[in-house]
């Protein structure tokens, strides 16, 4: 939608082509059934608790049946959740294939789209960007592009839960988009990291050496200085010579991303032939919610804006990597 609130031609054409399609009609029928089931469940629960209050007030001898009604109410909720969750997931996958993939094709035909796939946990950890290994890892909406540089990215949400009971703690390691660029030739002997110098959703304190890297840390700290990024980042490399040879390349990427997205956090690393980039943001950008209007123009516009942002990041990174 533009500034005046009118629907863009891309969204208008999509809605026109899908408005009365069998799939969309099926989605709407499913949404209606789900809403009616929720309404019935709410009425049943309120009726149950109302009956319990009456029984407890006037008919104590029947109070033993109250427990059975409570059990029935909770079983109804549980059965409803089980019965709808699988169907909702199936419809959501079909919706993404039908709607999101069509939008993507109309915007940029270079990318392949897999709604249920994601950057693997192994690739995420291997990038070496974070001080914790997640034991809660979710993702979706994998995009891939093959060419001189193979590219893939997806939404990722990584957490680590530790402890138990009252002492349990859940730490958000990363939430946003994770990009991987695979070059076809080896450019570096060792890993190099460009990390934020303060703790946030992207990386924990750099003062803590990671045990998952064998206690060796990330290598030698490389001095970097640039007015565009200030003291926001720290760079690490296997040796000072290797680090200095790549420092200007890394700074160029950091300057470009900071200029384009001044309010966003990012970190990146380079290992032999792989460039990995973590970019903070929402972790489920192409979510399909049947609680909203099917083919909602505002939601469709968000899909377009989010995908265009990712295209911009990919094209910028490719242009920088081509200089290497």
Let me know whether 167 and 214 are in one domain: yes
| Cα 109 to the center of its chain, rounded Å | 22
Residue 312 has pLDDT above 90, yes or no: yes
pLDDT in tens, 268-278: 999 888 999 99
Let me know whether 245 and 139 are in one domain: yes
Does residue 37 fall inside a structural domain?
Answer: yes
Note the pLDDT of residue 200.
40
* Domain end (from 68, 90, 107): 107
Average pLDDT in the chain: 79
Q: Of 12-21, 80-89, 90-99, 154-163, which range is least confident? A: 80-89
Three-class SS of residue 161? Answer: strand
- The model's confidence at residue 25, banded by pLDDT at 50, 70 and 90, is confident
Let me know whether 158 and 254 are in one domain: yes
Residue 63 has pLDDT above 70, yes or no: no
**Higher pLDDT pick, 66 / 26:** 26
Note the pLDDT of residue 5.
52
Let me know whether 130 and 228 are in one domain: yes
Mean pLDDT of 82-102: 78
CB–CB of 134/119 below 8 Å? no
pLDDT in tens, 183-206: 988 777 678 888 875 434 343 333
Q: Of 123-132, 169-178, 196-205, 221-230, which range is least confident? A: 196-205
Q: HSE on the CB side for 9, CA within 13 Å?
A: 2
Does residue 276 fall inside a structural domain?
Answer: yes
Listing DSSP states for 3-15 in one string gives TT-PPPHHHHHHH
Does residue 136 fall inside a structural domain?
Answer: yes
CB–CB of 122/181 below 8 Å? no
Note the pLDDT of residue 167.
77
Let me know whether 86 and 133 are in one domain: no
Note the pLDDT of residue 213.
35
Let me know whether 121 and 245 are in one domain: yes
* Domain end (from 78, 107, 136): 107
**Higher pLDDT pick, 275 / 68:** 275
Note the pLDDT of residue 55.
61
Q: What is the C-alpha separation between 107 and 101, in angstroms, rounded? A: 10
Note the pLDDT of residue 13.
86
- The model's confidence at residue 217, banded by pLDDT at 50, 70 and 90, is low
Residue 61 has pLDDT above 70, yes or no: no
Let me know whether 25 and 169 are in one domain: no
Let me know whether 165 and 268 are in one domain: yes
Mean pLDDT of 108-137: 91
Q: What is the C-alpha separation between 168 and 16, in angstroms, rounded? A: 50
Note the pLDDT of residue 6.
61
Let me know whether 164 and 267 are in one domain: yes
Mean pLDDT of 20-25: 82
Residue 4 has pLDDT above 70, yes or no: no
Let me know whether 220 and 282 are in one domain: yes
Let me know whether 190 and 70 are in one domain: no
pLDDT in tens, 237-251: 888 888 888 888 889
Angle subtended at Cα 179 by Cα 300 and Cα 247, rounded to the nearest 5 degrees: 135
Sign (positive or negative) of CA dihedral 94, 100, 105, 111? negative
* Domain end (from 107, 134, 154): 107
Note the pLDDT of residue 67.
62
Note the pLDDT of residue 216.
46
Does residue 154 fall inside a structural domain?
Answer: yes
Mean pLDDT of 66-90: 69
Let me know whether 73 and 167 are in one domain: no
Mean pLDDT of 112-124: 93
Could you give the percent of the chain with pLDDT greater than 70?
78
Number of domains, the chain:
2
Domain carrying residue 226:
112-287
* Residue 240: count of CB within 10 angstroms of its CB: 14
Q: Of 52-56, 87-91, 230-234, 299-303, which range is least confident? A: 52-56
Does residue 133 fall inside a structural domain?
Answer: yes
Does residue 4 fall inside a structural domain?
Answer: no
Does residue 122 fall inside a structural domain?
Answer: yes
Note the pLDDT of residue 201.
36
233 burial via Cβ count (<10 Å: 0-12, 13-18, 19+): buried
Residue 292 has pLDDT above 70, yes or no: no
Query: Rounded to two decimals, what is the model's pTM?
Result: 0.79
Does residue 302 fall inside a structural domain?
Answer: no
């Amino acid at each position: 939608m533009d500034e005046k609130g009118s629907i863009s031609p891309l969204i208008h054409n999509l809605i026109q082509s899908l408005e009365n399609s069998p799939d969309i009609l099926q989605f709407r029928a499913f949404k209606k059934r789900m809403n009616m089931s929720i309404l019935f469940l709410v009425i049943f629960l309120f009726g149950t608790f109302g009956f319990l209050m009456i029984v407890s007030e006037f008919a104590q001898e029947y109070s033993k049946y109250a427990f059975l009604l409570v059990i029935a109410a909770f079983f109804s909720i549980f059965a409803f959740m089980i019965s709808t969750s699988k169907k909702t997931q199936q419809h959501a996958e079909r919706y993404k294939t039908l709607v999101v993939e069509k939008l993507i094709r109309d915007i940029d035909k270079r990318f392949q789209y897999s709604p249920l796939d994601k950057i693997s946990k192994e690739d995420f950890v291997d990038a070496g960007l974070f001080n914790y290994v997640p034991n809660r890892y979710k993702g979706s909406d994998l995009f891939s592009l093959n060419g001189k540089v193979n590219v893939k990215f997806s939404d990722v949400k990584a957490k680590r839960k530790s402890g138990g009971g009252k002492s349990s703690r859940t730490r958000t390691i990363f939430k946003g988009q994770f990009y991987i660029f695979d070059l076809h030739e080896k450019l570096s002997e060792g890993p190099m990291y460009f990390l934020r110098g303060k703790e946030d959703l992207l990386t924990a304190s750099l003062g803590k050496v990671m045990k998952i890297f064998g206690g060796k840390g990330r290598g030698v700290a490389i001095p970097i200085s640039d007015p565009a990024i200030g003291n926001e980042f720290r760079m690490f490399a296997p040796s000072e010579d290797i680090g200095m040879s790549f420092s200007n390349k890394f700074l160029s990427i950091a300057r470009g991303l900071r200029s384009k997205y001044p309010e966003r956090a990012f970190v990146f690393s380079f290992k032999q032939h792989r460039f990995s980039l973590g970019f903070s943001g929402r972790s489920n950008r192409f979510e399909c919610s049947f609680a909203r209007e099917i083919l909602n123009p505002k939601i469709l516009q968000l899909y377009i804006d989010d995908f265009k942002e990712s295209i911009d990041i990919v094209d910028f990174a490719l242009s920088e990597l081509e200089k290497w």
